[in-house]
Chains A and B, each alone.
Chain A
Amino acid sequence: MVDWTDFERSTILDIFSKMDYDTVGPKSLARCLVVYPWTQRYFGNFGNLYNAAAIMGNPMVAAHGKVVLHGLDRALKNMDDIRGTYAELSVLHSEKLHVDPDNFRLLADCLTIVVAAQMGAAFTADVQAAFQKFLAVVVSSLGRQYH
């Protein structure tokens, strides 16, 4: 069980309530595939990922970016039991998708930077801390069921 201060809870919910999922999702996944190219190993059937321009313009990457970002919705609705909420998804990523859980952290870092660029100065150090704490809990929960 994670303790959230009132500031953290309201900040996190506020960021996501204002988020443009259709922009942020695609940008974050694409950025992850460019900045950490080994993550492309999971997307062999996504077509052209040969260079940054191809990745940024790839429609399958964009679609999947939205799916992944919306995956955070359930954590937002269950902030007091993120671990339980993601137990099934953790098993899926481990048993079926075989994703190295280190990758969750890489994607979280890219998401942080995309959100920072969208929010500009409003992404203060305190807001960053709250946002990163939320993502750290999500990342930990997704890795929890691996064995």
Chain B
Amino acid sequence: MSLTAKDKSLVKAFWGKIASKSDAIGAEALGRMLVVYPQTKTYFSHWPDTSPGSAPVKKHGKTVMGALGDAVGKIDDLVGGLSALSDLHAFKLRVDPGNFKILSHNILVTLGVHFPSDFTAEVHVAVDKFLAAVAAALADKYR
């Protein structure tokens, strides 16, 4: 399910609209994930607090969403552009790739909450495809 030219332009345009709220979106998506899918907390046993709005969640949400913003800029070659991040996830973090889908879902829910009129069905499918492509690029080095 590769990204068409239309998908790419929809993603870029929408990301432009959400850029100013990027940190908050990342934090909220991560917070939702940790509550709605508690098994994901297993990756954060080193955090004193995994509740929504807590400092580690806010910080990490910002990191993740920032990286996604970078990925938008590399949308024409995600596997190449995310190579270092793929190394990180494959060899150091070893996050089960099933969780990429889970986080993606929570990003989509957060976008729906904050951009109810901009997050149309067409934008939704483009962003969903983009997040899936990023997930595939991150899992590229896993085995």
Co-assembled chains A and B? yes
Report if A109 contacts B (CB, 8 A).
Answer: yes
Report if A68 contacts B (CB, 8 A).
Answer: no
Residues in A whose Cβ lies below 8 Å from that of B116: 117-118, 120
A-side binding surface: helix, strand, loop or mixed?
A: helix
Report if A52 contacts B (CB, 8 A).
Answer: yes
Q: How far is the CA of A113 from the CA of B120 in the complex (A)?
A: 11
Report whether A35 and B32 are in contact in the complex, using a CB–CB cutoff of 8 Å: no
Of residues 1 through 43 on chain A, the ones whose CB sits less than 8 Å from some CB of chain B are 30-31, 34-35
Report if A89 contacts B (CB, 8 A).
Answer: no
- Residue from B35, B109, B128 in contact with A116 in the complex, judged by beta carbons closer than 8 Å: B109
Report if B55 contacts A (CB, 8 A).
Answer: no
- Residue from B31, B113, B125 in contact with A35 in the complex, judged by beta carbons closer than 8 Å: B125
Report if A112 contacts B (CB, 8 A).
Answer: yes
- Residue from B36, B108, B114, B120 in contact with A125 in the complex, judged by beta carbons closer than 8 Å: B36
Q: How far is the CA of A120 from the CA of B116 in the complex (A)?
A: 8
Report if B124 contacts A (CB, 8 A).
Answer: yes
Interface residues on B, range: 20 to 34
Report if B70 contacts A (CB, 8 A).
Answer: no
Question: Please, which residue of chain B has its CB at the minimum distance from the CB of A119?
Answer: B113
Of residues 92 through 124 on chain B, the ones whose CB sits less than 8 Å from some CB of chain A are 105, 108-109, 112-114, 116, 119-122, 124
Report if A126 contacts B (CB, 8 A).
Answer: yes
Report whether A35 and B124 are in contact in the complex, using a CB–CB cutoff of 8 Å: yes
Number of A-B residue pairs, CB cutoff 8 Å, is: 54
Report if A97 contacts B (CB, 8 A).
Answer: no
- Residue from B31, B112, B114 in contact with A114 in the complex, judged by beta carbons closer than 8 Å: B112
Chain A interfacial residues counted at CB < 8 A? 23
Of residues 110 through 146 on chain A, the ones whose CB sits less than 8 Å from some CB of chain B are 112-114, 116-121, 123, 125-126, 128-129, 132
Residues in A whose Cβ lies below 8 Å from that of B31: 125
Report if A56 contacts B (CB, 8 A).
Answer: yes
Question: Please, which residue of chain B has its CB at the minimum distance from the CB of A118?
Answer: B116
Report if B66 contacts A (CB, 8 A).
Answer: no
Q: A109-B105, A125-B31, A125-B52 are in contact. Are A120 and B121 (CB under 8 A)?
A: no
List residues of chain A with CB under 8 Å of any chain B CB: 30-31, 34-35, 52, 55-56, 109, 112-114, 116-121, 123, 125-126, 128-129, 132
Report, nearest first, the 4 A-B pairs whose CB atoms are least far apart.
A125-B35, A117-B116, A34-B121, A117-B112
List residues of chain B with CB under 8 Å of any chain A CB: 31-32, 34-36, 52, 105, 108-109, 112-114, 116, 119-122, 124-125, 128
What would be 14 A-B contacts, judged by CB atoms less than 8 Å apart? A31-B121, A34-B121, A35-B125, A52-B120, A52-B121, A112-B109, A113-B108, A113-B119, A116-B112, A117-B119, A125-B32, A125-B34, A126-B35, A128-B36
